[in-house]
């Protein structure tokens, strides 16, 4: 039954830790003394290592035996005792195995559209990475699911790469884009079906296919993925089989992430990232717990954990975008993180697009009334986006601060997300196009030789300067194209060309694709954050393939002598 969006909500009051659920329903990985002592003993340099291990015995037995160890040691076991316990009860063997997609081909058709010989070879090399990233869940996980943090999924899948051995929600959008370009629709369909199965199991699509991600999601791009797949294949049977699940996801966001607030004399209802659960993130337990010790009160520590998880839900973990110091500025460090107090422009643009996609889907299925309903809701959401996020002085869309009741006037690629997601009415696109281009030019955010930075602030966090992330470069290029002006298309091509050349340079030097890059040195991988840079890399491949397909007839790997002479 169609649900109504006429919701009345209020900003969440102060949370109380005891009222919150654990990070997941598997205490070994999410809410136990065992997790705490193992992670704080720092047995492994990456906190994710322990929670990715699987149990040799049933969890109840392991927890009971660890309680006995705590009792016998007066709750002060040595690091050696903890390591011995882990060695005895856990196995580091990975729960997935290599998988070759059945629809993989070495010479996909898109290569024919790339004029430059070096870039054509680059496209072929990137296409050749897909088999290296193909995985499927081992049978042992299906036989003893209680012993694993990995959530079983039915189809083979493409992993991002490196330490990320499971599927991740928003990564999958750009991976699917790349798979469809490579002529792999069955693999893309299986990836989408995996997400839908997770949605049916948990009530939402989790951050990733691990139980410790159970209480948080990521940017809701599922309908956008389905749209890519349907437009490529026309597979309306798949759509009909899953339309209710797509509706369920929108309901989840409206039930859990909605916030109502006043701006001026108007009351608005939009979404924010909000992931309330107990304690630190299991996969970053040591880092989160250590950071929380900067706060004296338990309530403030709880708020801190929620803000960290909410930022992880955004995919931007971590960034000055979520920082608010005492004066409301985006400065400081993780101790000033206040994600849940910020209404993000990109999340709401994605959601407006999801509503419009539902209208499109219902139209394909000949459900005219339902299609009209979704189209009406999408129009409402687009209107609210314009009223809340558009800044007439600067000519751009900004995030909105709930606590300060004003825009956060900083450069982030998310500022153009409404254009990327088609969340701006066409008459307003035409009206605002010159202003948007003027804003981007004045920001100098598009002027770097290695790509578009996440921000212009060097905070040491990985979602800040000088790092560029493939999905955000894609956002900017598609937003510029959506302006539908000659100047917008010209700038879009320049940004795409800069990115492809930088990634190509890095690939020639390392034979690797990275999850992020340094905008100051073309092709150099990025750093910062909680872990070392990862190779692979699913969404990096997808975005370069997108640009090679979109601009292949004019893109070149380097300037020609005549170009250099005229510059």
What residues act catalytically? Answer: 317, 515
For residue 419, give the nearest of 340, 467, 350 by alpha carbon: 350
Residue pair 363/351 in contact (Cβ under 8 Å)? The answer is no
Q: What is the CA radius of gyration of the chain?
A: 23
Q: Is the peptide bond before 265 cis (omega within 30 degrees of 0)?
A: no
Query: Three-state SS for 273?
Result: coil
The rounded distance, in Å, linking the Cα atoms of 445 and 435 is 15
**Residue closest to 171 by CA, chosen among 540, 459, 484:** 540
Per-position b or e across 162-183, b if 16+ CB within 10 A of its CB: eebbbbbbbbbbbbbbbbbbbb
State how far the Cα of 499 lies from the Cα of 542, in Å rounded to an integer. Answer: 13
How many of the other CB atoms lie within 10 Å of CB of 22? 19
DSSP state of 246: H
Give DSSP secondary structure letters for 514-544. BS-EETTSTTPBP--SSS---BS-HHHHHHH
HSE, CB side, 13 Å, CA atoms: give it for residue 558.
6
Q: What is the largest CA-CA distance in the chain?
A: 78
Fill in the DSSP letter of residue 219.
-
Length of the chain: 567
Distance, CA of 126 to CA of 511 (rounded, Å): 10
Helix segments in 73-116, DSSP class H:
79-89
Of 546, 544, 548, 438, the C-alpha closest to 483 is: 438
CB 169 within 8 A of CB 207: yes
Crossing angle of helices 470-482 and 538-551, rounded to 10°: 30
Closest CA to 246 of 353, 174, 334: 353
Cα–Cα distance measured from residue 334 to residue 254, given in angstroms and rounded to the nearest whole number: 28
Contacts of 232 (CB under 8 A, 6+ apart): 180, 185, 188
User: CA angle 544-217-32, nearest 5°?
Assistant: 125
Whether the Cβ atoms of residue 319 and residue 190 lie closer than 8 Å to each other: no
């Amino acid at each position: 039954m169609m649900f109504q969006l006429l919701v009345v909500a209020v900003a969440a009051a102060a949370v109380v830790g005891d009222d919150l659920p654990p990070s997941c329903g598997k205490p070994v990985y999410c809410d136990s003394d065992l997790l705490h002592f193992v992670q704080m003993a720092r047995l492994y340099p990456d906190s994710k290592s322990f929670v990715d291990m699987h149990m040799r015995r049933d969890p109840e037995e392991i927890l009971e035996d660890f309680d006995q160890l705590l009792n016998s040691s007066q709750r002060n076991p040595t690091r050696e005792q903890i390591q011995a316990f882990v060695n005895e009860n856990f196995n580091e063997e990975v729960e997935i195995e290599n998988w070759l997609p059945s629809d993989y081909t070495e010479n996909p058709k898109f290569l024919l559209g790339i004029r430059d010989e070096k870039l054509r070879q680059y496209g072929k090399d990137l296409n050749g990475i897909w088999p290296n990233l193909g995985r499927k869940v081992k049978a042992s996980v299906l036989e003893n699911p209680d012993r694993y943090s990995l959530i079983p999924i039915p189809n083979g899948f493409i992993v991002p790469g490196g330490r990320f051995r499971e599927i991740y929600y928003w990564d999958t959008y750009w991976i699917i884009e790349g798979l469809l370009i490579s002529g792999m629709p069955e693999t893309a369909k299986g990836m989408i079906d995996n997400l839908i199965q997770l949605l049916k199991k948990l009530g939402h699509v989790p951050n990733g296919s691990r139980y410790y991600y159970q209480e948080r999601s990521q940017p809701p791009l599922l309908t956008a993925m389905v749209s890519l797949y349907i437009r490529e294949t026309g597979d309306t049977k798949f759509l009909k089989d899953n339309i209710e699940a797509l509706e369920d996801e929108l309901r989840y966001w409206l039930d859990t992430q909605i916030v109502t607030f006043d701006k001026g004399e108007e009351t608005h209802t939009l979404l924010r990232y909000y992931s309330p659960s107990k304690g630190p993130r299991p996969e970053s337990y040591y880092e989160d717990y250590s950071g929380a010790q900067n706060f004296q009160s338990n309530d403030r520590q709880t708020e801190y954990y929620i803000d960290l998880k909410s930022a992880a839900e955004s995919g931007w973990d971590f960034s000055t975008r979520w920082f608010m110091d005492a004066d409301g500025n985006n400065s400081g460090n993780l101790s000033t993180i206040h994600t849940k107090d910020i209404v993000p422009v990109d999340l709401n643009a994605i959601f407006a697009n999801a509503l419009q996609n539902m209208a499109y889907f219902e139209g394909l299925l000949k459900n005219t009334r339902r299609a009209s309903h979704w189209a009406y809701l999408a129009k409402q959401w687009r209107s609210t986006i314009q009223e809340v996020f558009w800044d007439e002085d600067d000519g751009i869309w900004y995030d909105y601060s709930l606590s300060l009741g004003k825009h956060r006037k900083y450069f982030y690629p998310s500022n153009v997300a409404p254009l990327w997601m088609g969340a701006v009415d066409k008459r307003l696109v035409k009206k605002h196009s010159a202003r948007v281009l003027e804003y981007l030019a004045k920001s100098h955010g598009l002027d770097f030789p290695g790509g578009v930075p996440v921000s212009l602030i060097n905070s040491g966090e990985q979602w800040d300067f000088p790092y560029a992330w493939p999905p955000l470069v894609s956002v900017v290029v598609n937003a510029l194209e959506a302006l539908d002006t000659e100047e917008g298309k010209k700038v879009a091509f320049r940004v795409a060309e800069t990115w492809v050349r930088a990634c190509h340079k890095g690939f020639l030097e390392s034979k690797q694709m990275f999850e992020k890059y340094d905008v100051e040195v073309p092709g150099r991988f990025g750093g910062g954050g909680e872990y070392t840079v990862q190779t692979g890399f699913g969404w990096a491949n997808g975005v370069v393939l997108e640009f090679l397909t979109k601009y292949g007839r004019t893109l070149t790997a380097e300037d020609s002598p005549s170009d250099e002479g005229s510059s």
